[in-house]
């Protein structure tokens, strides 16, 4: 790894970044691109990286708006370029070299859907080339890369969206509305998990029979990662290796934390600790398949302090229920991308007495005195809790969060706006803590993060 990629650019702080909440937002100097696309024009886009997610993103982009036109694709494996033409038409321009796409003046936007270690390089090159950018999560491969991406975005004046699409679902929007309305009181705890138990879910994807250095560009794939001999597993199952991916934290935690930040308007945690191990998928991967992380969030103007626990278990042979629970002093919100359940439960004002209580250890005379005092202090109406209330919400059947996320991106492109639902500052505030979860796991240390200044803290 080149040392400069790990150099943290300290000049980019909250004073020069667009913060997530209006209460502490600070302006920054940005070169606005006032050239707007005509409402009658198509937004011509290219996808860089036509793997599983590249295909998924391309289709979602086309569903997102009739104004989008897919015109070009780049990938390092020839078979995927052939498949692009089979699926999307022989007129689609294809290339192994993403730079050929950036050179084309007729391409307005690019989708960066590469292995994680290429995200920052291609994103910055695309912005410098005048392209609008949709970059898959996590925004960066290493924490230190975030500020330079934000700086490139600021200088470009281009629209940029990070791809964690669940926050564009109807259910997440409803969770946010209920939370902001104070339906669960003050937040104190969040738990979220994403468990799996199957080989493909654990990233052991199929490898084509023709995989070789003739059919794919191995050297370019490696990029600034350590130079190693050709290994088809590393190319097609790159998520299993730290050199190219970010493990369960960068791949799955990032969705969970993005959703919580979207709902609560939190800027991020200040203390992070992870534990776990490689339990089941001992196939050469060097990232854990079981991981639990604890993130402590500080009190802010918009939130009470709270703790978040994230979990991924790729060896869960039991019942799998993947959801997020945000718990407060008056109830909880339990939700997925498709539905939510709000449970409201308030304690009565009177604490009660008797049962498993020290009251029963008092003398008879003291019990009488205590009861007299209690009844005087707590009238009858304060002794009963309100009935438990439950509100359910199911997303409409036609709700398409992935397409909606792209619709937000393209609408902002057409307006010449920077205000996407998941801009690079928001994306970095989600990426940095989950990458810190990895840092904690591998170093076996607590990681301290400054969520306002967006930088690591030394302790």
**190-249 pLDDT per residue, tens:** 999 999 999 999 999 999 999 999 999 999 999 999 999 999 999 999 999 999 999 999
Structural domain contains residue 162 = yes
Q: Report how many domains make up the chain.
A: 1
pLDDT (tens digit per residue) in 250-264: 999 999 999 999 999
Residue 153: closest CA among 418, 415, 452? 418
Assess whether the previous peptide bond of 138 is cis (omega < 30° from 0). Answer: yes
Q: CA 297 to CA 278: how far, in whole Å?
A: 28
Structural domain contains residue 271 = no
User: What is the span of the domain harbouring residue 100?
Assistant: 43-166
State which residues of the chain have pLDDT below 50. 1-29, 31, 33-34
pLDDT at residue number 397: 95
Structural domain contains residue 366 = no
Beta-strand relationship, 447-450 and 271-277: antiparallel
Structural domain contains residue 106 = yes
Structural domain contains residue 413 = no
Structural domain contains residue 175 = no
How many residues are recorded in the chain?
459
Provide the token pair at 309: 């626990």
pLDDT at residue number 4: 40
Q: CA 108 to CA 110: how far, in whole Å?
A: 7
Quick one: residue 454, left, alpha or beta (phi over 0 = left, psi -120 to 50 = alpha)?
left
Count other Cβ atoms within 10 Å, centred on residue 389: 12
Q: CA 40 to CA 58: how far, in whole Å?
A: 21
Q: CA 286 to CA 277: how far, in whole Å?
A: 10
pTM of the model: 0.90
Residue 431: closest CA among 296, 282, 188, 250? 250
SS3 401: helix
Per DSSP, which regions of 43-125 are E strands?
Answer: 43-48, 68-74, 93-95, 109-112
Structural domain contains residue 116 = yes
Structural domain contains residue 15 = no
pLDDT at residue number 27: 36
pLDDT at residue number 40: 57
What burial letters (b/e) apply to 224-247, b meaning 16+ CB within 10 Å? ebeeeeeebbbbbbbbbbbbbbbb
Q: What residues pair up with 111 in beta bridges, in sequence order? A: 47, 134
Q: CA 438 to CA 410: how far, in whole Å?
A: 33
SS3 102: helix
- The sign one gets for the Cα dihedral 358, 359, 360, 361 is positive
We report the CATH number of the domain holding residue 97 as 3.40.50.720
pLDDT at residue number 41: 86
Torsion angle in degrees (nearest 10) through CA of 203, 206, 210, 213: 0
């Amino acid at each position: 790894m080149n040392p400069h990629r790990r150099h943290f650019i300290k000049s980019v702080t909250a004073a020069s970044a667009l913060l997530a909440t209006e209460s502490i937002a600070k302006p920054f100097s940005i070169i606005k691109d006032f050239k707007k696309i005509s409402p009658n024009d198509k937004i011509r886009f290219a996808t860089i990286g036509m793997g599983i997610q590249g295909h998924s993103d391309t289709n979602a982009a086309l569903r997102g708006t009739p104004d989008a036109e897919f015109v070009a694709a780049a990938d390092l494996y020839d078979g995927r370029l052939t498949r692009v033409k089979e699926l999307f038409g022989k007129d689609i321009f294809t290339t192994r070299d993403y730079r050929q796409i950036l050179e084309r003046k007729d391409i307005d936007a690019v989708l960066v859907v590469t292995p994680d270690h290429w995200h920052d390089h291609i994103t910055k090159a695309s912005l410098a080339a005048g392209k609008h950018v949709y970059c898959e999560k996590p925004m960066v491969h290493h924490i230190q890369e975030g500020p330079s991406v934000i700086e490139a975005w600021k200088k470009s004046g281009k629209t940029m969206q990070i791809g964690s699409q669940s926050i564009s679902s109807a259910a997440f929007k409803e969770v946010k509305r209920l939370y902001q309305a104070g339906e669960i009181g003050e937040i104190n705890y969040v738990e979220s998990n994403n468990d799996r138990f199957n080989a493909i879910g654990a990233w052991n994807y199929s490898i084509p029979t023709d995989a070789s250095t003739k059919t794919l560009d191995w050297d370019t794939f490696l990029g600034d990662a350590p130079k190693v001999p050709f290994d088809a597993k590393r190319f097609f199952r790159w998520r299993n290796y730290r050199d190219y991916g970010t493990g369960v934290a960068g791949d799955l935690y990032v969705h969970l934390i993005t959703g919580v930040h979207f709902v609560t308007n939190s800027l991020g945690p200040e203390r992070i600790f992870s534990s776990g191990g490689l339990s089941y998928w001992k196939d050469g991967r060097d990232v854990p398949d079981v991981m639990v992380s604890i993130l402590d969030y500080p009190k802010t103007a918009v939130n009470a302090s709270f703790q978040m626990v994230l979990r991924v278990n790729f060896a869960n042979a039991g019942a799998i229920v993947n959801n997020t629970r945000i718990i407060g002093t008056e109830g909880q919100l339990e939700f997925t991308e498709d539905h939510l359940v709000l449970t409201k439960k308030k304690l009565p004002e009177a604490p009660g007495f008797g049962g498993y209580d020290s009251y029963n250890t008092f003398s008879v005379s003291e019990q009488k005195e205590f009861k007299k005092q209690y009844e005087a202090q707590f009238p009858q109406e304060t002794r009963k809790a309100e009935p438990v209330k439950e509100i359910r919400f199911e997303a409409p059947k036609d709700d398409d969060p992935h397409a909606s996320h792209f619709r937000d991106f393209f609408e902002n492109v057409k307006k010449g706006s920077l205000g996407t639902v998941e801009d690079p500052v928001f994306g970095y505030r989600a990426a940095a803590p989950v990458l810190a979860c990895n840092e904690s796991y591998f170093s076996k240390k607590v990681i301290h993060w400054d969520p306002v200044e967006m930088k690591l803290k030394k302790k």
